[in-house]
Amino acid sequence: MAAERGAELLRPPTSSGRATFLELFFDLAFVVALTRVSQRFAGLSDDTGWALVEGFGRTLLLFLALWLIWSHTAWITSRYEPEQPIIQAVVVGTMFAGLVMAVALPRAMEERALPFAVAYLMVMVVRPLVIAAALRGHPRRLVPFRLAVWASASAPLWLAGALGPDRLRLPLWAAALAVDYLAWTLGWPLPWLGASEVGAWRIAGTHLADRYQQMFLIALGESILVIGVVFSGTDYSAVRAAAFAVAFAISALLWRIYFHRAGLLLAEALDRSAMPGRLGARSERTHLLIVFSVLVTSVGYELVIDNPFGPPRPSWLLFVVSGPMLFLVARMRLEYEIFGRVSPSRVTGLLALLLFTPALARWAPMVGLCVVAAVLALVALLDGLRSRGRPLEGSASPIGREASGERDSEA
């Protein structure tokens, strides 16, 4: 009887595949968080050497913690019915914790470390226990129970990093985050229970694809916000106006390249996959790279619009060129996940940026931004020429193509 009551939380086959208004509301906290991440990156513009590497690593760690919170929430609403009151309460509670993390983020590696860590642990430890209790006797309750156990194992590292000396915070939190990501990859194995194979999980594929695409668009929206805010806050000039226009063109090209064929068919690929959980897990890591690359690129916009012909620095090269390069790598990975191949256009674009990078290190930031825009325009043009006159092909993902066979009872 308890198992039947717990089953009410599961997503029925008739549930809508689209994201709910509550989930879109939830994303607002992460709009704030992504803006804070880009601001921390922008603060590295004058750093060089080890200071630049350490600052970049600190901000990357904070981003990865936020991403884990967001991606786990996306999977929760893809596995459980988001219209159920308990799931809605979980999402709202996670949103509040995410907002606390966003507020603490600018100084999360300094004096605001404790609120950031506590908010993170409240989501990672308490949330799965609430879901496990709501599932009652249903076999799926073991999955959130596993999450809570593993999160409890890494919690001392998070708290020690927050309360201990500042010099130990980065290594302790890096170790804690590595435990959390490793647990997700391995399926949170426990003695006597084994692991829960994520690839065998039952998920709403269309919904998960929708959530990934929405987060990509949120990251793009953050880049547009950066363009507008930076340009409106500086002295108007022809070169700054040109940098503003080129930066907007790059964001538009990132949108075009993502959604051309592969990005457009993500939902179809997940729906047609014999094991959508496996493809969804791979796609989660791909979209982590995509969202991060857009954030890094947006920091480059800020640096160039603020000083288009300033002296070249390692920091601006890191953001202006490395961001688009990472985007192309992630987009190639996405194409392989959808079609089992990689188009020459993206390889051509990546090689072009690699070849230009040594020269760009000696040129003004504006030159680098224009080169990036030209390379991305070439990729989009080659995509268009390759697909012109051809019907839209269906997805043919090589991931999870085989039949799933016996599924885990926790799936």
Query: Is the pLDDT at 12 greater than 80, yes or no?
Result: no
The pLDDT assigned to 401 comes to: 61
The pLDDT assigned to 403 comes to: 46
Tokens 């992460």 belong to 30
pLDDT in tens, 245-267: 999 999 999 999 999 888 888 88
What number is the average pLDDT over the span 159-180?
95
φ, ψ for residue 346, nearest 5 deg:
-70, -35
pLDDT in tens, 269-316: 888 887 888 889 999 999 999 999 999 999 999 989 988 988 877 778
Query: Is the pLDDT at 206 greater than 60, yes or no?
Result: yes
Query: Is the pLDDT at 3 greater than 60, yes or no?
Result: no
Tokens 């012909």 belong to 309
The pLDDT assigned to 386 comes to: 86
**Between the ranges 23-32, 38-47, 116-125, where is the mean pLDDT highest?**
116-125
The pLDDT assigned to 194 comes to: 84
Q: How far apart are CA 38 and CA 98, in angstroms?
A: 16
The pLDDT assigned to 4 comes to: 55
SS3 197: coil
Fold observed for domain 205-387: I/LWEQ domain (1.20.1410)
φ, ψ for residue 393, nearest 5 deg:
-75, 155
pLDDT interval class at 233 (50, 70, 90): confident
pLDDT interval class at 327 (50, 70, 90): very high
User: Residue 308 in contact with residue 364, Cβ under 8 Å?
Assistant: yes
The pLDDT assigned to 410 comes to: 64
Query: Is the pLDDT at 408 greater than 60, yes or no?
Result: no
Q: In the numeric block, which tokens belong to residue 218? A: 């949120």
Strands (E) located in 157-299: none
Strand-pair partners of 25 = none
User: Residue 301 in contact with residue 228, Cβ under 8 Å?
Assistant: no
What number is the average pLDDT over the span 335-358?
93
What is each CA distance from 93 to 87, 119, 228, 255, 398, in whole angstroms? Answer: 10, 10, 32, 31, 37
Give span(s): CATH 1.20.1410, the chain: 205-387
Query: Is the pLDDT at 99 greater than 50, yes or no?
Result: yes
**Between the ranges 17-31, 43-57, 124-138, 286-300, where is the mean pLDDT highest?**
286-300
What predicted TM-score, i.e. pTM, was given to this entire model?
Answer: 0.93
Q: In the numeric block, which tokens belong to residue 301? A: 């916009």
pLDDT interval class at 33 (50, 70, 90): very high
Give the least confident one: 148-162, 224-238, 330-344. 224-238
Identify residue 149 by its one-letter amino acid code.
V
SS3 10: strand
Query: Is the pLDDT at 411 greater than 70, yes or no?
Result: no
User: Residue 30 in contact with residue 71, Cβ under 8 Å?
Assistant: no
pLDDT in tens, 66-81: 999 999 999 998 888 8
Q: How far apart are CA 290 and CA 292, in angstroms?
A: 5
Give the least confident one: 106-110, 120-124, 164-168, 395-399. 395-399
List helix spans (H) across 164-196.
Answer: 166-186
Identify residue 13 by its one-letter amino acid code.
P
Q: How far apart are CA 46 and CA 136, in angstroms?
A: 54
SS3 165: coil
pLDDT in tens, 132-155: 999 887 888 888 999 999 999 999
What is the percentage of the chain residues whose pLDDT exceeds 70? 94
Triad 286, 289, 291: Cα angle to 5°: 105
Element (H, E) at 266: helix 266-272
